[in-house]
Amino acid sequence: MKKTVLLLLFFLINIDGFSQTKNLEELCQVFHLTNKKDTITFIVFGTKQDLKIKKPLFFFRQGSQPRPLLEIYQGKYYPQMPFSIKPYQKDYHFVMVQKSGTVFVADSAYMAQLEDGLKTGNPRFFTKEYQENNNLDKATEQCNQVFNFLVKQPWIDTRKIVFCGGSEGFTIGANLVANYNKSITHTILFSGHTGRRFEFEIYQIRDAIKQGKMDANEGQKQIEELYKFWEDITKYPKATDKTLGDTYYAWHSFSTKNINNLLKINTPLYIAYGTEDNEITIGLDYLPLDFIEKGKKNLTLKAYPNHNHQFFELKKDTTGKVIDKVYRGDDVAKDWMEWLK
């Protein structure tokens, strides 16, 4: 069987558009929540003075990969976010949580090494702590604890509590809002799947066959081998010592069917996706049918034609070949910020 490639879904950043400072305390305030199990580190963007101003909460959960929260580039700090928060900081307290087993802040040299490390599964970045905690249960638990802490703070206006997450964060948000946290008033999800994450592996092979990049018989053989892998994963759903790129625990937990959780959400729900994000497009195209069938009116679904997973608009020539990519992440974020109003 051709070795399955680790599913790496992430969001690139346009570094020029972000808040930037040489002083960390001018960019964000760092919090640590300690319980019997571990310590959760998260940041609230803004100065200490900003924490005296009562504003709604906007919680952003990143996608997959062991990336830091902040990057130092040319002596300045930049948040690892796919859109600029600066135009909206007067209206919201923005929050991000550090993933277990990842560095809090990294310089540009580390980030360059990280890109290669993500391709090879370098244990320097995929640490044991990260692997053991990289699952839906742990991610949901961490987010829930941070929300429960923040809604008790006098500087949070609990009339509007927003969860925003993409890719892996899509699955975490659907699970969190549907089953755990009732303080969240608005949910924004993007570039996520309605089905199982593991389905992506099968999709990749079938798509390669359709494009003539793989022999049909060989491709079918690989798909059938993936069925066997899934059978083994379901036998050991919380194993962190058995892997297929990610641990079995990660594969099984993040392969929960998102549709079931999405239909449980009764508060306003906004979902955005690019139509060139092929493996997820079909499921999201069909999503309104499920909401209509259940008589639910809380879904706003926004499709971006010719945009990919990271919301780059793809420019094509007359033959359909991609000849240019233009980043539209800030435009997409502007749309959901308008929706929040």
Q: Per-residue pLDDT tens for 295-319?
A: 999 999 999 999 999 999 999 999 9
Q: What angle do CA 70, 40, 192 make, to 5 degrees?
A: 65
Q: Which fold has domain 15-196+256-340?
A: Rossmann fold (3.40.50)
Pairing type for strands 322-327 and 246-247 reads: unpaired
**313 three-class SS:** strand
In this prediction, residue 35 carries a pLDDT of 80
Q: Is the dihedral of CA 182, 184, 187, 189 positive or negative?
A: negative
In this prediction, residue 21 carries a pLDDT of 57
Write down the residue that tokens 């319980």 correspond to: 35
The CATH 3.40.50.1820 portion of the chain extends over 15-196+256-340
- Checking if the pLDDT of 190 tops 70, the result is yes
In this prediction, residue 108 carries a pLDDT of 86
pLDDT category at 9 given cuts 50, 70, 90 is: very low
In this prediction, residue 244 carries a pLDDT of 87
In this prediction, residue 18 carries a pLDDT of 43
Strands in the chain per DSSP E: 28-34, 39-45, 55-61, 70-73, 76-79, 93-97, 105-107, 156-166, 186-190, 243-244, 246-247, 269-274, 299-304, 312-316, 322-327
Determine phi and psi for 215, rounding to 5 degrees: -65, 135
* Region 14-41 average pLDDT: 76
In this prediction, residue 229 carries a pLDDT of 96
**What is the DSSP track for 188-231?**
EEES--SS-TTHHHHHHHHHHHHTTSS-HHHHHHHHHHHHHHHH
Q: List pLDDT tens digits, range 193-218.
A: 999 999 999 999 999 999 999 999 99
In this prediction, residue 8 carries a pLDDT of 33
In this prediction, residue 254 carries a pLDDT of 96
Q: Flag whether the pTM goes above 0.85.
A: yes
- Checking if the pLDDT of 16 tops 50, the result is no
Buried b (16+ CB within 10 A) or exposed e, 321-341: eeeeeebbbeebbeebbeebe
* % of the chain with per-residue pLDDT over 70: 94
- Checking if the pLDDT of 110 tops 80, the result is yes
d(CA 283, CA 320): 23
As a residue count, the chain comes to 341
